[in-house]
Amino acid sequence: MCYNGRMKHASFVFVCALVFAGTRSFSFADQVLEVTPDGLTPQQALAKIRAAKAAGDKGAWTVRVKAGTYPLAETLTFGPEDSGTPEAPVKWIGEAGKTTFAGGEPITGWRDDGGGVWSAALPKAPDGKRAFFEQLWVNGRRASRARLPDKGWLKTQDMTCTEEAGTVPKNVIEKLVVADPAAAPLAKTPADELGWAQMCLIDKWTFARRVLRGVGAVSNGVAVTTHAPVAWPNFARWNSGSTIVAFENVRAAFDAPGEWFYDAKAGRVLYRPLPGEDMAKAFVLAPSTGLSQLVAFTGDPEKEKYVHDISFEGLSFEASASKTILTDVVRKATNGAYVPPTSGPTESWQYQAAQSSDAAITCEGAQRVGWKNCFVRHTANYAFRFNDGCQHVEIVDCTLEDLGAGGIWMGARKSYPPPGTGDKMQRREYLTTGPKSVAHNLVSNCTIRAAGTFNPEGTGVAITHASFCRVIHCDIHDIMYTGVSVGWVWGWGGSVAQHNEIAYNRIYDLGKDEMSDMGGVYTLGTSFGTRVHHNVIHDVWSYTYGGWGLYTDEGSEDVVMEHNLVWNTEDGGFHQHYGVGNTIRNNIFAWNKSIGAFRASRDKVNDVPCSVNFVGNVVLVDGSPFMGGGCASVKGVWANNVWWDVQGKATFGGTKWSDWQKQDREWNSVCADPLFVDAKAFDFRLKPESPAFTRGFKAWDYAEAGVRGAHALPGGAHW
């Protein structure tokens, strides 16, 4: 499926046919290369194409990659000189499910050390030193790193953050106390092992990794000290009972089958096999040191030099290492003096949606490129990242799974004002794009699952400074944070994240009682033309608060959310922090826990009155209030809704139905049984005599959400 929404170049539909169907009616002769495990390598094939194009070749190229695993010692990098054309594209075609580009190092030579522990020597990195890695896969399964506690998290207290004077880059000393007897074994960590252990910290919607610098025993727990180059005020402010921590690669926590430990002192990796696991036959894989990007596109949108007309089909990309990208916050805080280590434990800082994580496939200035029927799995980061200048990109029929961060990050580094609009973003609609814009991209019929295994901030799909993008017919589940995030501007500053479409997706099993302040679909900023429709969202569970189905956060404006089914969420089916002119129409909200349908935080921000139109929705609760108290002061139209509480309480932000109606709300609405076929069994079809239909409700087949065809998961719908 190809998207042609609002594009000036109608030829893109034809380009899609070239990329994915492989047919062409031009006279150029196809050049075909065959890559085999014992013959031509992917790097050699790329070099041959590059040399031919440099010599003037203008024909199409097809690289057929035979079944097998192709180790990548370095990133497979495509530049503008490797591009095809719409008439003569470059295609890389593998044997689906059998052809793998792997960035990992197989670990062999395992020996039985006794006591249920096996070990192997650490492999060598490209520089000859011992390889360092933070993930390990045994027979295709992500093994558990020695962790304290084995499951869950520990609460913190007494968090402080002070900056050491006179250090360049800055040295910020962070201290906290974990007053839990379960943390006591951490105090046994020898000083020469602290630098290989990590503290993992979650507070609300953010996550950080720190290297341990000191631990000490205190009453009923431990005191922990870490260093960082960035002063993060929230570290101390967050000491509100919502901050939780765990510790990884701690020898004292290496105590259960399926766990592993990186023993830097001994130069070995230790592993406790699962019952029945034969280490003499096991395939054990670790990511190559520093190889966070398996594939990179390196265009230069500033100079309008793009990598274009290249496609991949039937290929798997596996095993990437972690890397922290320096965001503008870190650069400014350190005056550019801080450089992340190329080897050694990852240190990261609290940012939303794992924005400081790169991806196994990272693109800059990529246009008219695509991936079809591909796999990306076993990463420490995102699967895909599309930065400045990435336009007309398609990811179709792909599976992204076992992801360290999230599935897809798609957005320019900032909201670049389109040509002809001046240099300052305004709170207005934008219909054009520029050379550095990220726009007109499609994610279709993909499965994105098991994300956030290394950085739980990762989002299924993050569309940030991007416009005219679509996420349709995807299954997005088993995610630690938000399913789909759209927009990246807080407040009324103006944003290019407009005219995006999130539709027919099945989004579920989010949060897992660990992250907070998230949603199935989350929006930010001015969003003219953005539509969220025909999605099924359920089982969104937060640690402290949040866990909404649909979430219009700060400054969301002109978002339309309609024909969505939202059920089983921690908080409301819908939440608006603050925004203007958003329309929530013809949705079903059922069995949502704290608030049935609607929570609102603020009615005016910077003298801008907030508003929302809540029209034609069906709301079902079991004793929960229909909405929070803040809703009464939010402007907008409320009409044609059907409200029903099976316990008969029927409260609207503490107000009874009759009093709520007196506030000039709920024109033609009713408090009555909506007559679902079997709501207790999650069958939310409405019977013909439902009062919703007399109020204009338009039914839809919510089983159409999610992936279709051969890529659909067995069993059909997940309700």
Kindly report, residue by residue over 389-406, the tens digit of the pLDDT: 999 999 999 999 999 999
CA-CA-CA-CA torsion sign (415, 420, 425, 428):
negative
Neighbouring CB atoms inside 10 A of 36's CB total: 13
Residue type for position 342: T
Residue at 556 is within a domain: yes
Q: Look at residue 660 in the predicted model and tell me its pLDDT.
A: 87
Residue at 361 is within a domain: yes
In which band, very low, low, confident or very high, does the pLDDT at 346 lie, cut at 50, 70 and 90? confident
Residue 106 phi/psi, 5-degree rounding, is: -60, 135
- Clarify whether residues 598 and 507 are in a common domain: yes
- Clarify whether residues 625 and 701 are in a common domain: yes
Kindly report, residue by residue over 541-591, the tens digit of the pLDDT: 999 999 999 999 999 999 999 999 999 999 989 999 999 999 999 999 999
Residues in the chain: 719
Instruction: Examine the fold and report which residue of 223, 258, 284 is the final residue of a domain before the chain moves on.
Output: 284
Q: Look at residue 105 in the predicted model and tell me its pLDDT.
A: 81
Q: Look at residue 33 in the predicted model and tell me its pLDDT.
A: 97
DSSP 541-584: --SSS--EEEEE-TTEES-EEES-EEEEESS-SEEESSEESEEE
In which band, very low, low, confident or very high, does the pLDDT at 27 lie, cut at 50, 70 and 90? very low
Q: Look at residue 18 in the predicted model and tell me its pLDDT.
A: 40
Which residues 6+ apart lie within 8 Å of 648 measured at CB? Answer: none
**Residue of 340 and 401 predicted with greater confidence:** 401
- Per-residue tokens: 272: 């406790």
- Clarify whether residues 414 and 490 are in a common domain: yes
In which band, very low, low, confident or very high, does the pLDDT at 326 lie, cut at 50, 70 and 90? low
- Clarify whether residues 191 and 275 are in a common domain: yes
Q: What percent of the chain has pLDDT over 90?
A: 73
- State yes or no: pLDDT of 681 exceeds 70: yes
- Clarify whether residues 128 and 158 are in a common domain: no
Q: Look at residue 19 in the predicted model and tell me its pLDDT.
A: 43
In which band, very low, low, confident or very high, does the pLDDT at 719 lie, cut at 50, 70 and 90? very low
In which band, very low, low, confident or very high, does the pLDDT at 717 lie, cut at 50, 70 and 90? very low
Instruction: Examine the fold and report which residue of 380, 412, 429 is the final residue of a domain before the chain moves on.
Output: 380
In which band, very low, low, confident or very high, does the pLDDT at 237 lie, cut at 50, 70 and 90? low
- State yes or no: pLDDT of 14 exceeds 50: no
In which band, very low, low, confident or very high, does the pLDDT at 26 lie, cut at 50, 70 and 90? very low
Residue at 233 is within a domain: yes
- Clarify whether residues 298 and 191 are in a common domain: no
- Clarify whether residues 535 and 459 are in a common domain: yes
Contact by Cβ (8 Å): 599, 620: no
The answer to which of 78-92, 340-354, 406-420, 688-702 has the lowest mean pLDDT is 340-354
- Per-residue tokens: 355: 């924005």
- Per-residue tokens: 350: 């609290």
Full residue range of the structural domain in which residue 214 is found: 136-284
- Clarify whether residues 573 and 661 are in a common domain: yes
- Clarify whether residues 83 and 140 are in a common domain: no
The answer to which of 15-24, 316-325, 636-645 has the lowest mean pLDDT is 15-24
Residue 122 phi/psi, 5-degree rounding, is: -65, 135
Query: What is the domain count for the chain?
Result: 3
What's the pTM? 0.93
Q: Look at residue 642 in the predicted model and tell me its pLDDT.
A: 98
Q: Look at residue 233 in the predicted model and tell me its pLDDT.
A: 52
Kindly report, residue by residue over 66-89, the tens digit of the pLDDT: 999 999 989 999 999 999 999 999
Q: Look at residue 716 in the predicted model and tell me its pLDDT.
A: 37
Residue at 542 is within a domain: yes
- Clarify whether residues 266 and 301 are in a common domain: no
Residue at 690 is within a domain: yes
Q: Look at residue 325 in the predicted model and tell me its pLDDT.
A: 73
Mean residue pLDDT across the chain: 90
- Per-residue HEC secondary structure of 78-133 comes to ECHHHCCCCCCCEEEEECCCCEEEECEEECCCCEEEECCEEEEECCECCCCCECCC
Instruction: Examine the fold and report which residue of 284, 311, 335 is the final residue of a domain before the chain moves on.
Output: 284
d(CA 431, CA 496): 9
Q: Within 13 A of 541's CA, how many CA atoms are on the CB side?
A: 8
Residue at 115 is within a domain: no
Kindly report, residue by residue over 197-227, the tens digit of the pLDDT: 999 999 889 998 988 999 999 988 899 998 8
- Nearest of 487, 494, 481 to residue 448 by alpha carbon: 481
CATH number at residue 486: 2.160.20
Q: What CA–CA distances, in Å, run from 340 to 103, 280, 327, 587, 715?
A: 21, 37, 11, 46, 45
- Clarify whether residues 315 and 401 are in a common domain: no
- Clarify whether residues 170 and 219 are in a common domain: yes
d(CA 552, CA 573): 11
Residue at 344 is within a domain: no
Q: Is 225 exposed, middle or buried (0-12, 13-18, 19+ CB in 10 A)?
A: middle
Residue at 225 is within a domain: yes
In which band, very low, low, confident or very high, does the pLDDT at 6 lie, cut at 50, 70 and 90? very low
Mean pLDDT confidence for 149-177: 82
